[in-house]
C-alpha cells in the first residue's frame, strides 16, 4: 500500500458548538422538551442550537484540475460490490467516475462485474484475476469486502494497479486505498434531519452492521445532537449483521423497517444501505416522511424518479471524484499524490443541493461544514453506546 490513511478521528468536541449555539431558534424550539416530545410542530421547531456562522460565498465546492491527461493506454476494470451498476448509490458513483475518465481522458472502459450477495472469497479472487488476465489496468475494487481478495491477487500481478475503495488494510506497492470521512458528511445529514423534522424524532437505516456503516450512523447522530441537543431522538436500525452483505440489496426489508420507524414517530430517515435505500424512500413516500440519500445525489437518480420528492438531500460520498482522480493519477504516474482521506476539507464528502427544499437551511449546513473543516468540531467514527 502506498500510504496509510488517517486514523480514527477524536471523539466529538460538541461542547464548542453548543457553547456557540446556546440559544433556541426563532422557529419555536425552546430547548426544554424531552427527546421525542413536543412533535407535531413545524420543520425547525425541534432545533435548539444556533448554527455556527457560514463562510462567505456559502462554501463553493472545490474542483480538481488535471490538465492534459492521456489515459488512452489504460483499460479500466470495475469489480463492483453487491448490486452493481444501477444501484443508484455506491456502485453507480464508482461507475460515474470511470465513465467520466473514459470521456475526459480517453481511457478504455474494461470489464465490469458485480459481487453476489453471499459469494466466497475464492469467487472475488477469481473475478480480480480474470480482470488482470484480460489486461484491465487499473482495476478498481468497489467495497471493503474485496480487501482480502485484493491482498492475495495484487502481489500476483505487480504490473497492474489496483484501487480498493473503503479499505486501507492492504499493504502492497500496487494497491491504492480510497477511503472517506463518511462520519463528516453524515454529520451534515444529521443537521439537515434536525432542521427538517417536525416530530422531534428521526431514523437511521444501515445496510450491514459493520464499522464502516457505523461511521454513517455515528456522524448522523452527532449532527442531530449538534442542532437539536437532547430535544430530538434518533432511532437506528440495521438490515443485516456483519458478514451478511445482502442488507445492501434488499429494498423489501428496508421498506418494512422504515415503515415501522415511521409508525413509531420518525419523520426523517437517513439510509446507508446501498440499493436497499429504494425501500426506505418508498416507505417515506407512503408515510408522509422525508428521506436522506447516500453516496450519490439520489434526488437525480432515474431509478428513484417516482420517490425523488421525498429525498430532501443526500450525504455525498464522492466515490466518483475519488475514482476519477485515481485514474488521472495512474495515467500521470503519481497515485501517491492523492489525498490520504477524502474528507470535507477536500470536498470528498458533502451534501446535495439539487432538491430546492434544502435551500432554506443551506446557510446552517455550511456553517457546520466550516466548523468541521476548521477543527472547531471533531466528529467521532463510532456511535455512542
- Give yes or no: residues 162 and 277 share one domain: no
Q: Say if residues 280 and 149 touch (Cβ distance below 8 Å).
A: no
- Give yes or no: residues 164 and 231 share one domain: no
- Give yes or no: residues 171 and 211 share one domain: no
E strands, the chain, are 75-79, 108-113, 139-142, 162-165, 175-178, 201-209, 233-241, 268-272, 290-295, 311-317, 349-351
Domain count, the chain: 2
Buried/exposed code over 221-238 (b: 16+ C-beta within 10 A; e: otherwise): bbbbbbbbbebbbbbbbb
- Give yes or no: residues 214 and 298 share one domain: yes
- Give yes or no: residues 231 and 306 share one domain: yes
Residues 6+ apart with CB under 8 A from 359: 353
Task: Please give the pLDDT value at position 98.
Answer: 96
CA–CA separation, 283 and 255 (whole Å): 5
- CATH number, domain of 98, equals 3.40.50.2300
Task: Please give the pLDDT value at position 83.
Answer: 83
- Whole-model pTM: value is 0.83
Q: Can you spell out the DSSP letters for 215-251?
A: HHHHHHHHHHHHHHGGGSEEEEEEEEETT-GGGGG-H
Q: What are phi and psi of 150, to 5 degrees?
A: -65, -40
In a domain, 300, yes or no: yes
In a domain, 53, yes or no: no
In a domain, 309, yes or no: yes
Which of 302, 313, 317 shows the shortest CA–CA distance to 355? 313
Locus of grid cell 415503515: 259
- Give yes or no: residues 377 and 267 share one domain: yes
Residues forming beta bridges with residue 202, ordered by sequence position: 234
In a domain, 105, yes or no: yes
Task: Please give the pLDDT value at position 66.
Answer: 73
Which of 319, 307, 343, 330 shows the shortest CA–CA distance to 141? 319
Task: Please give the pLDDT value at position 61.
Answer: 57
Please provide the distance, in angstroms rounded to a whole number, between the alpha carbons at the two ends of the chain.
33
- Give yes or no: residues 362 and 268 share one domain: yes
In a domain, 70, yes or no: no
CA–CA separation, 174 and 319 (whole Å): 20
- Give yes or no: residues 256 and 374 share one domain: yes
In a domain, 41, yes or no: no
CA–CA separation, 281 and 209 (whole Å): 20
pLDDT single digits (tens) 67-85: 689 999 999 999 998 888 8
Domain range spanning residue 160?
Answer: 75-180+322-330
In a domain, 69, yes or no: no
- Give yes or no: residues 117 and 261 share one domain: no
| Residue 102 host element (H or E) | helix 90-105
Task: Please give the pLDDT value at position 318.
Answer: 94
Average pLDDT, the chain: 88
Buried/exposed code over 10-28 (b: 16+ C-beta within 10 A; e: otherwise): eebebeebeebbeebbeee
Q: Which residues of the chain have pLDDT under 50?
A: 2-38
Task: Please give the pLDDT value at position 383.
Answer: 95
Instruction: Identify the three-state secondary structure at position 203.
Output: strand
- Give yes or no: residues 359 and 211 share one domain: yes
Q: Say if residues 164 and 3 touch (Cβ distance below 8 Å).
A: no
CA–CA separation, 342 and 178 (whole Å): 8
In a domain, 130, yes or no: yes
Number of residues assigned to the chain: 385
The CA distances from residue 356 to 118, 273, 296, 300, 303, in Å, are: 39, 24, 17, 12, 20
Residues 6+ apart with CB under 8 A from 242: 208, 209, 210
- Give yes or no: residues 287 and 385 share one domain: yes
Residues 6+ apart with CB under 8 A from 265: 36, 39, 199, 201
Task: Please give the pLDDT value at position 36.
Answer: 41
Task: Please give the pLDDT value at position 3.
Answer: 45
CA–CA separation, 85 and 81 (whole Å): 9
- Give yes or no: residues 361 and 230 share one domain: yes
pLDDT single digits (tens) 183-238: 999 999 999 999 999 999 999 999 999 999 999 999 999 999 999 999 999 999 99
Amino acid at each position: 500500500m502506498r500510504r496509510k490513511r488517517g486514523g480514527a478521528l477524536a471523539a466529538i468536541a460538541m461542547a464548542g458548538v453548543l457553547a456557540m449555539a446556546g440559544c433556541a431558534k426563532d422557529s419555536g424550539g425552546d430547548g426544554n422538551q424531552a427527546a421525542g416530545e413536543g412533535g407535531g410542530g413545524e420543520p425547525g421547531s425541534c432545533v435548539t442550537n444556533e448554527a455556527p456562522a457560514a463562510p462567505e460565498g456559502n462554501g463553493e465546492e472545490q474542483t480538481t484540475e488535471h490538465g492534459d491527461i492521456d489515459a488512452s493506454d489504460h483499460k479500466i476494470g470495475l469489480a463492483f460490490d453487491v448490486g452493481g451498476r444501477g444501484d443508484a448509490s455506491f456502485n453507480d458513483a464508482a461507475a460515474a467516475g470511470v465513465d467520466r475518465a473514459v470521456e475526459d481522458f480517453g481511457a478504455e472502459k474494461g470489464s465490469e462485474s458485480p459481487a453476489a450477495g453471499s459469494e466466497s472469497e475464492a469467487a472475488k479472487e477469481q473475478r480480480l484475476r480474470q480482470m488482470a488476465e484480460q489486461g484491465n489496468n487499473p482495476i478498481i475494487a468497489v467495497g471493503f469486502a474485496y480487501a482480502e481478495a485484493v491482498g492475495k491477487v495484487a502481489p500476483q500481478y505487480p504490473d497492474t494497479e489496483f484501487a480498493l475503495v473503503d479499505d486501507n488494510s492492504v499493504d502492497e506497492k500496487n494497491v491504492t486505498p480510497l477511503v472517506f470521512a463518511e462520519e463528516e458528511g453524515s454529520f451534515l445529514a444529521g443537521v439537515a434531519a434536525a432542521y427538517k423534522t417536525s416530530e422531534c424524532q428521526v431514523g437511521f437505516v444501515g445496510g450491514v452492521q459493520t464499522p464502516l456503516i457505523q461511521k454513517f450512523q455515528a456522524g448522523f447522530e452527532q449532527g442531530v445532537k449538534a442542532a437539536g441537543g437532547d430535544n430530538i431522538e434518533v432511532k437506528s436500525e440495521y438490515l443485516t449483521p456483519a458478514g451478511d452483505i445482502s442488507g445492501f440489496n434488499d429494498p423489501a426489508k428496508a421498506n418494512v423497517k422504515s415503515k415501522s420507524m415511521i409508525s413509531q414517530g420518525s419523520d426523517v430517515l437517513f439510509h446507508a444501505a446501498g440499493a436497499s435505500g429504494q425501500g426506505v424512500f418508498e416507505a417515506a413516500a407512503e408515510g408522509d416522511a422525508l428521506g436522506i440519500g447516500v453516496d450519490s445525489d439520489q434526488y437525480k437518480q432515474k431509478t428513484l424518479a417516482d420517490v425523488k420528492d421525498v429525498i430532501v438531500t443526500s450525504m455525498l460520498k464522492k466515490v466518483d471524484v475519488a475514482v476519477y482522480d485515481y485514474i488521472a493519477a495512474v495515467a500521470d504516474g503519481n497515485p501517491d499524490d492523492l489525498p490520504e482521506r477524502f474528507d470535507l476539507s477536500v470536498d470528498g464528502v458533502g451534501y446535495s443541493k439539487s432538491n430546492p427544499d434544502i435551500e432554506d437551511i443551506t446557510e446552517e449546513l455550511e456553517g457546520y461544514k466550516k466548523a468541521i473543516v476548521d477543527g472547531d468540531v471533531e466528529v467521532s467514527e463510532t456511535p455512542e453506546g
